[in-house]
Structure 1
Amino acid sequence: MKAVVVVSLEDAGGDRCVDLIREGAAWFWVECRRDPEDAHGWRRLHPPRGAFPDRAGALADARADVGWLSEAPG
């Protein structure tokens, strides 16, 4: 099954996001950034992390690792 970004949570400045990804029954997350002066768009900062059994597990792990994410709704 193809990986699908289910939700993308952006920081207040709009230059960082965390994507929650579902692939089959597993959930992953990845932090991304974009530079306003670069037309490329979003770039991943690392490979997707996880293989969590549910969305809540992926989000909890992301919140523990990404400081600004604790302020974002999810």
Structure 2
Amino acid sequence: MGRGRTARTVVAFASTFDAMEAERLCREAGVEGRIIPLPVEITAECGLAWSMPPGDDARAAFDRAVAGHLVPEGIYRLML
């Protein structure tokens, strides 16, 4: 029996450095989420992405954590 798919907000980055920096900043700020391999539905320069719960609160927390440090290549809502 497989695991059910759930909605997630997925953030793509232009570089591995940006992905790792986002992870560091989010961990320091207590933003829920984790680094995942880039889903096949997304085309980006980097093979890593940040996955977090969907919703405005999680997105706002992410935006605050990375503000002034990096700009995501794209932000998507996917079923993972």
TM bucket (normalised to shorter chain) is: 0.3 to 0.5
TM-score w.r.t. length of structure 1: 0.37
Higher helix share: 2
| Higher RCO (Cα < 8 Å, 6 or more apart) | 2
TM-score w.r.t. length of structure 2: 0.35
